[in-house]
Structures are given as C-alpha cells and as structure tokens.
Structure 1
C-alpha cells in the first residue's frame, strides 16, 4: 500500500493533496469517479487552511466567516482544475483510494484576490476593501514569493 493513503490532506508550498476512499462496488471505474468527486469536494478545506496561513489576523472581525466564504467559492471554482494524481485499488478490502492535487500557483492567487474583492465589495466600504486587497497582495508576495500584478 502506498504511504499517501494514510494522509487525508497534505499541504505543500506549491499546492495541496487531498485523498478519499470509496467502496469499489459496483465497479472500479464508477468508484474512481466517485472517489475523485469526493476528494475534490474536500478541496475547500485545504484552501481554507492555505488562506488562514497567509491572511492570519488580517480582518479583526468576521475573519473566520470571510475565509470560509472565500474558500467555499474557490473550492467550487478550482474543483475542475484539480488533477487526479494517484489511484490505488485494494481488492482485498474492496476499496479504492484516490488522491487529487491542486496547484497553488499565480492563477490560484489571482483568483483568491478576485473572489476576495467581490466578497469585500459586498460587505465593506470600497475604500476599505481596496486597502485590504493591497494588503492581501503584499502578504501573498511576502509569504509565497509570488508577484501579483
């Protein structure tokens, strides 16, 4: 058995892995599709962890609500961009393991800023939201080394 099946989520600097396990009944091909869908639905949790790491203490009030909303929006958007990396069929136990990978690249962080801006504009005054977006850009550049705009 591969080691990765023991870890549901693994976050690295360049991206995150999310694993899932499903029964292989009625067929392996259907199980693989179900496993991939299940793993991709968990992406919002690794996105939330990544955003919490970068934007820690950014907003004094309602930060958890903001981060959860942002990660939910991004999780839906990036579910189609995540790639299946590994599949392991355990025929003895009648289960299939799969692992998907979501890359945290420049496009990801541009989407973070775009979605954040939309959320902030609906909840905060425009001058405040623009200041916050500028701070977010600086934090992404500082913590992840990715120059945006």
Structure 2
C-alpha cells in the first residue's frame, strides 16, 4: 500500500462527503492549487484509493422499501461451491452486498426489494436456487439507523 499524506486523507474525506464538487472547490477546501489537486485526485484514483464515482439513489423513491439481511448456510464448504455461489449471487440485481463470514453461517447477504411479497418470490425463486444453499435466515430491517457512512480516513 502506497503511503498517503495528511492532504490526501483530507481529499478523501471531502470526496466522500461530496464526490460531485468541482476541482476548484475541492482545492479551496483542502488548500491546494487546482492543478495540484487534479494531479492528487488522479494519483489517488490510479493507486486505487478512489475506486469510482456514482450517485446515491433513494431506494424508497424507487419503490424499493424493504431492506433485508439474510444469513446463508451452504450444504458444503468447498472452493468449488464457494466460487459457484459467488458467481451466481453477483448476477442477482436485488443483492446489494454479499459477504463470506466466519461463524454459524457462510454468507451474509443484504438485499433491497419492493415489499415482503417480492422478497418471498426472491427467496424461493432466486436465493434458495443458488448453488449449494442449504438454509437461510432472514432479518427484515425495521429502521436504517446508519447506512453509506463515510470511511474513517
């Protein structure tokens, strides 16, 4: 990992807050010349500290009101099954995140859907049909207390 300095960290904090701000605005906030700022942002992107830019959409405005966390246990824990499960879950647009974990189950899936009926269809038609899935436990989210928080840079 390439070393980054205090100014780089300040740039990363600012961009997490507002990734659409102009180079001039970012330079003013950080205290650098716009040309130096542009070079630093390009360097941070090239080094992989900045992995991309995009819009954060409001799921409720899009009719995706149900957020659900799902524990997934596989019938076998072999590299082949892990690979097949991971490839299949990447193709499911309802799945926002999927993490292999250690403990009492194998994966934790975060999915966003319209409602409970849509989730029931997703569970039966997609999730339980994924390679190696033995059982699931679902946790519908009652309230999102904190999501999409910035990384502590």
TM-score of the aligned structures, taking structure 1 as reference length = 0.27
TM-score of the aligned structures, taking structure 2 as reference length = 0.27
The structure with the largest helix share of the pair is 1
